[in-house]
């Protein structure tokens, strides 16, 4: 700590013995030991307080970042990147309203039962289908299993 070697420590001890005297030397050593222990205790407490303040500052920073992450809205960010002026959104609203007025707006079915119900209402004889037949996927071909060769 103070970078004192054994020779310097011996010299300090001899000078203290001469100045203080052999009779009061043990009392002076106890007093010095108490003083050093109090200094160590104060420095330990100061270091603990500083580290706790730093930890709280880091926690406050983490809390702030967590709140920013919580408040982040990806939809708004994406909208501001793609369409910062809002013109595209307004144009799409206009197209959507025109489709609704013409009766062309059909929301996508959310379940297979809704899809089959929609096909029955918009089938070939329905008034809203415009006379077009519903499109069905082509049938899949079944494969026959290949016979294995006998092992010799």
Domain count, the chain: 2
Instruction: Measure the CA–CA gap between 123 and 132, rounded to whole angstroms.
Output: 8
142 is a domain residue: no
14 is a domain residue: no
Looking at the structure, tell me whether residues 67 and 82 fall in a common domain: no
Looking at the structure, tell me whether residues 81 and 59 fall in a common domain: no
Looking at the structure, tell me whether residues 63 and 77 fall in a common domain: no
For residue 93, give its domain range.
Answer: 73-103
pLDDT values of the chain reduced to their tens digit, one per residue, 152 residues? 567 888 998 998 899 989 999 899 999 999 999 999 999 999 999 999 999 999 998 988 888 999 988 888 888 888 888 877 878 777 777 777 776 776 665 555 565 555 555 555 555 554 444 455 566 766 666 666 666 777 76
4 is a domain residue: no
Looking at the structure, tell me whether residues 41 and 68 fall in a common domain: yes
Looking at the structure, tell me whether residues 80 and 92 fall in a common domain: yes
137 is a domain residue: no
């Amino acid at each position: 700590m103070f970078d004192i070697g054994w020779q310097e420590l011996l010299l300090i001890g001899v000078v203290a013995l001469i100045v203080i005297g052999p009779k009061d030397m043990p009392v002076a050593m106890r007093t010095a030991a108490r003083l050093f222990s109090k200094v160590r205790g104060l420095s330990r407490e100061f270091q603990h307080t500083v580290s706790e303040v730093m930890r709280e500052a880091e926690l406050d920073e983490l809390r702030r970042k967590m709140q920013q992450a919580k408040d982040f809205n990806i939809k708004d960010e994406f909208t501001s990147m793609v369409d910062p002026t809002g013109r595209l959104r307004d144009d799409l609203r206009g197209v959507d309203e025109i489709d609704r007025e013409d009766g062309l707006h059909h929301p996508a079915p959310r379940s297979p039962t809704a899809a089959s119900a929609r096909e029955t209402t918009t089938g070939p004889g329905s008034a809203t289908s415009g006379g077009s037949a519903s499109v069905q996927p082509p049938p899949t071909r079944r494969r026959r299993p290949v016979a294995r060769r006998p092992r010799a």
